[in-house]
Structure 1
Amino acid sequence: MSESPRLLAAPCAYPVFFRTYSRRFQGVRESWEQVCERTVQDLATLGNFTPAEQALVLEMQQQLKALTSGRWLWVGGTDWIHQPENFSGAYNCTSQRIRDWRGFGLMMDLAMQGSGTGAVLEAEYFNQLPPITTRLQVTMLGQPGDKPAEAREKLTQVARQGGQVTVRVGDSRRGWVQAYQSLLELASEPSAEGVWHLTVDLSQVRPKGEVLKGFGGIANPALLPQLFPRVAGILNQAVGRQLTSIECCLLIDQAAATVVAGNIRRSAGMRQFAAEDQEAAGAKANLWKQDEQGNWRIDPQRDVLRMANHTRVFHHKPSREECVESVRSQFYSGEGAVQWAGEAIARSNRDLLDTPEKKARFLELYHEAPQRARGYLRELLLAPSQGS
């Protein structure tokens, strides 16, 4: 890797680069020049660049003046990213409204691809989840690496016999997701005894240190054995009712913690709660507490909340006092961010709200009723076609 004045001025750049963006080929790590060639070539193909455009982008990246995204530096130009099921791995951020169990599984799937995961945890969405009806009693069986590579199954198998359920975790991204989601589904499925006796078998999973041939890096299922009992513990506390926003958040974050330990470089989570949700507003307050001996301890039940940033979403323009309190909270704890949803949506529709008058009208309608504001956007979107 050739040295440049910029890199020499930032010695930490080397470990960050080789840890995060340099892939290993035939036992050798890529140089910066090789990463640039790999990623820009694929980007040029994707964007149908002219030779001059490709040369310019390559020059700017080599000189650290304009770079492709961090996600693309890792996956761009690989066979892995050209598989349709992996396309989301090129995205830095994703967001979805959590309203069914598939949403939880998708969040884990996206995290395992390295994408940032945003979850909208407002009551109008998570209240669509089915209530938790059945306790889960989990017994773990086997260890990652028990099965040789040629004998492993990639997909998760779920077998039932009466109140006994065996979940054999598959050795793949999809296998991990299937196993995780199966617990959520079972918890909302009635059982004659009021409990499912689950045996979770990890013997099919590859061991720590084995190469991940597609995505890259090495496997590390260190926290996978803890995932299932912890998920069951959260669900069991909600038997007889629906999950709260924080319980939904904890379920997502337990999966995120497992994924990060599994050698994905980050979870990069964002959780958006309704501004009126007071439990969520203070969920990350006082995570650390001091015991009588002066030792600081973190609440083990809420530790995983640190996997994501929390944002309070206002569907009306927040007051000056609410904004000041948000800034004060962020100054002291790093948490407490707020979002004025109307303004955020207006900015993301700048092509339609292209005059101050249109934007003002949209915000006025959003304040009255978000549905009316959505209707206004539809009118603007269809207006050109009506005149043609």
Structure 2
Amino acid sequence: MIGSGVGLKITKKEKEILPLIRTNTEIINKHYNSIPKNKRTEHTTLEFSPDNTIVKIIIGDSKMGWATSLRYFFELLTANHFADISTIIFNYDNVRPKGEMLKTFGGYASGHTALVNMYEKIDKVLKNNIETYRRLETVDLMDIANIIGENVVSGGVRRTSEVILFGYDDEAMLTAKNEIYTLEEGK
């Protein structure tokens, strides 16, 4: 298997370019009901309620479908024309069940729970502050990048490698991984 890592530059200057993000949106993970293989779609789509306050992200069964769902998620939380959306519902029914063979990449499907975990963790990062509209901190952006990387690995065959460059004066980034692990008996 051939692969490569991802490099990110997350500085205070870059974070200021990003839009404010709404943190008051309710996230709902619809109960998973696997769709038969011949009826699944690979593309992710959006369905809006008649009053445009609720949107359903119907996630397609492909790498592009997963990536598109993530792009839609952040667009729904940042774009002004989506400001009235109060609820995002994730529909994972098109995602193949855990253990099903992957046709082109090899290996086995991780199932929908990898996506559920990713969106729950990202939502937790976004809501770690009580402000309704907020600018993410550099350490938040790093956490989100790591969460996405963790999701990529979930299939069992893939691996992820990340390097994150940050400003020399960013104390939060410099110490972000401190005290994650503890030594027991000096080991």
TM-score bracket relative to the smaller structure = 0.7 to 0.9
Q: Is the 8 A contact 1:135 1:235 kept in 2?
A: no
Q: Is the 8 A contact 2:18 2:135 kept in 1?
A: yes
Q: Is the 8 A contact 1:134 1:189 kept in 2?
A: no
The number of aligned residues is 178
Distance 2:180 2:25 in 1: 27
Q: Is the 8 A contact 2:23 2:134 kept in 1?
A: no
Q: List structure 1 runs of 4+ shifted beyond 3 angstroms.
A: 190-193
* Structure 1 match to 2:75: 185
Q: Is the 8 A contact 1:131 1:188 kept in 2?
A: yes
Distance 1:171 1:225 in 2: 14
* Structure 1 match to 2:98: 208
Three-state SS of the structure 1 residue aligned to 2:166 is strand
1:285 to partner: Cα distance = 0.1
* Structure 2 match to 1:235: 126
What amino acid does structure 2 have at the position aligned with 1:118? G
* Structure 2 match to 1:49: none
Bigger RCO (CA 8 Å, 6+ sep): 2
Query: Is 1:251 the counterpart of 2:141 in the alignment?
Result: no
Distance 1:178 1:264 in 2: 21
Identity between Structure 1 and Structure 2 (%): 25
Distance 1:281 1:192 in 2: 34
Please list the CA deviations of residues 237-280 of structure 1 after superposition, one character each: whole Å capped at 9, or x if unmatched. 35422111111111111111111112243111111111110000
Q: Which among 73, 88, 108 is matched to residue 218 of structure 1?
A: 108
Three-state SS of the structure 2 residue aligned to 1:135 is coil
**Counterparts of 1:117-196 in structure 2 under 5 Å?**
117-143=6-32, 146-161=34-49, 162-190=52-80, 196=86
> How large is the RMSD of aligned CA atoms in angstroms?
2.1
**Counterparts of 1:357-368 in structure 2 under 5 Å?**
none
Unpaired stretches in structure 2, ≥5 consecutive residues: none
1:134 to partner: Cα distance = 4.6
Select the structure that is richer in helix.
1
* Structure 1 match to 2:159: 266
What amino acid does structure 2 have at the position aligned with 1:182? Y
What amino acid does structure 1 have at the position aligned with 2:46? V
Please list the CA deviations of residues 161-193 of structure 1 after superposition, one character each: whole Å capped at 9, or x if unmatched. 221010011000000011112221111134555
**What TM-score results when the alignment is normalised by the length of structure 1?**
0.43
1:208 to partner: Cα distance = 1.3
Distance 2:114 2:182 in 1: 24
